Amino acid sequence: MRLSPDEAIPWPNTLPKLNATILCTWALMLVLIVGSWLITRRLSRGLKRSRWQNLLEIIITGIEQQIEEVGLRQPRRYLPFLGTLFLFIAAASLATMIPGYEPPTGSLSTTTALSLCVLVAVPFFGITGQGVGSYMSSYVKPTFIMLPFNIISEISRTLALAVRLFGNMMSGGMIIAILLTITPFFFPVIMTAMGLLTGIVQAYIFSILAGVYIAAATTASKPKAETAVAA
Amino acid sequence: MAMDPTSIIAVASIVTAGLTTTFGTMAPALGEGKAVATALQSLAQQPDASPTITRTLFVGLAMVESTAIYCFVVSMILIFANPFWTHVIAQSAGK
């Protein structure tokens, strides 16, 4: 019983052996990129549009609305990053319906890579939003003693993101594998359905948490102006 | 009662895995139950704040759930990917 798709190697011929994680990630990327390219080839601005364009517009406006509710004021700037996170993780867990596929987010390497992206993105958006000095000074607020604790909290937030996503995806797959050896048909179907639900919820959680961290990094110096305007 | 290292490692791993899963399922469930109860109460008091309350509830539940996931991951490592066990098995196979 293996813990992650890293250990299944369907293609051992090339020098870096392609394990199931890499192959499933590439397959997902292929489907997402080719699908969106096909849909956005002929966009129409009028009322008559294809149903696939409608689907994409629903997804995009939904994600934009969620980003705005988190507190980020110009959602278009953060939409590529946060939207890609959500779509990749959601597609990775939805594709579990295809037999022979294992979610690449069930491997700690994929989830660590995604949370490292968030770790890099938070200072990036903070610096482009506030300026270097203002962002760096947020680490020593409220007092200078808090500097090591703020740094540790950054690292532990990243670790928590990675392990949360990995644990949820791995536990779904493992429970199905264990149940398959006990009762062949009925319970694994129910557990697969619940695995789909938790996969979508975890995709939402991952991107919303990334949005909350970015919002905390970009708006640390603005609230005083808002209270002055409100008063 | 003299046990060889293999038995000690096996017993310790099994007992710890069981205990970890025990505490890992009880404590987060209590916390999540409290969170859901408070959310339901505030939904009953202010139904038009429902999207905000629901979203905050789910984010909070995910944060609490992550401690349960940590316990699950440790249990799985102890049972399936235990480094002490593989080391001791390799030693006894090498003999």
A154-175: average pLDDT: 88
> Does the structure show a pLDDT above 90 at A1?
no
Contact assessment for residue B42 and residue B57, using Cβ atoms and an 8 Å cutoff: no
Residue A162's closest CA among A1, A2, A4?
Answer: A4
Asked if the C-beta of B54 comes within 8 angstroms of chain A's C-beta atoms, the answer is no
Tell me how far CA of residue A117 lies from CA of A4, A26, B85, in angstroms.
21, 18, 34
pLDDT band at A44 (very low <50, low <70, confident <90, very high): confident
The torsion defined by the Cα of A18, A19, A21 and A25, in degrees rounded to 10, comes to: 30
The one-letter amino acid code at B76 reads: M
> Does the structure show a pLDDT above 50 at A229?
no
Residue A113's closest CA among A222, A225, A212, A21?
Answer: A21
The torsion defined by the Cα of A197, A104, A70 and A193, in degrees rounded to 10, comes to: 0
Contact assessment for residue A209 and residue A161, using Cβ atoms and an 8 Å cutoff: yes
Is the Cβ pair A166, B73 closer than 8 Å? yes
Is the Cβ pair A167, B69 closer than 8 Å? yes
pLDDT band at B1 (very low <50, low <70, confident <90, very high): low
The one-letter amino acid code at A24 reads: C
* B16 class by beta-carbon count within 10 Å (0-12 exposed, 13-18 middle, 19+ buried): middle
Chain A partners of B49 at a C-beta cutoff of 8 Å? Answer: none
pLDDT given for residue B12 in this prediction: 93
> Does the structure show a pLDDT above 80 at B22?
yes
Report the number of secondary-structure helices (H) and strands (E) in chain B. 3, 0
- pLDDT tens for each residue of B34-48: 999 999 999 999 999
pTM over 0.95: no
Q: Where are the domains of chain B?
A: 18-94
pLDDT given for residue A218 in this prediction: 86
A125-136: average pLDDT: 88
> Does the structure show a pLDDT above 50 at A224?
no
pLDDT given for residue A221 in this prediction: 55
The one-letter amino acid code at A209 reads: L
The verdict on domain B18-94 having CATH code 2.60.40.10 is no
Structure token digits, residue B94: 């090498």
Distance from CA of B7 to the nearest CA of A (A): 22
Please give the share of chain A, as a percent, with pLDDT higher than 70: 94
A122-142: average pLDDT: 87
How far is A128 from A122, CA to CA, in rounded Å?
A: 10
pLDDT given for residue B10 in this prediction: 92
**Test mutation, A63, A168, A200, A213, chain B, max B CBs within 10 A:** A168
pLDDT given for residue B26 in this prediction: 95
Residues within 8 A of B (CB atoms), A 91-150 only? none
Asked if the C-beta of B32 comes within 8 angstroms of chain A's C-beta atoms, the answer is no
Structure token digits, residue B70: 């940590």
Contact assessment for residue A225 and residue A112, using Cβ atoms and an 8 Å cutoff: no
Please give the share of chain A, as a percent, with pLDDT higher than 90: 31
The one-letter amino acid code at A67 reads: I
A167-177: average pLDDT: 83
Question: Do the interacting molecules here have an ipTM over 0.85?
Answer: no
Tell me how far CA of residue A79 lies from CA of A67, A208, B26, B76, in angstroms.
8, 12, 38, 36
Residue A25's closest CA among A70, A118, A89, A84?
Answer: A89
Half-sphere exposure of B6 (CA within 13 A, CB side): 7
pLDDT band at A216 (very low <50, low <70, confident <90, very high): confident
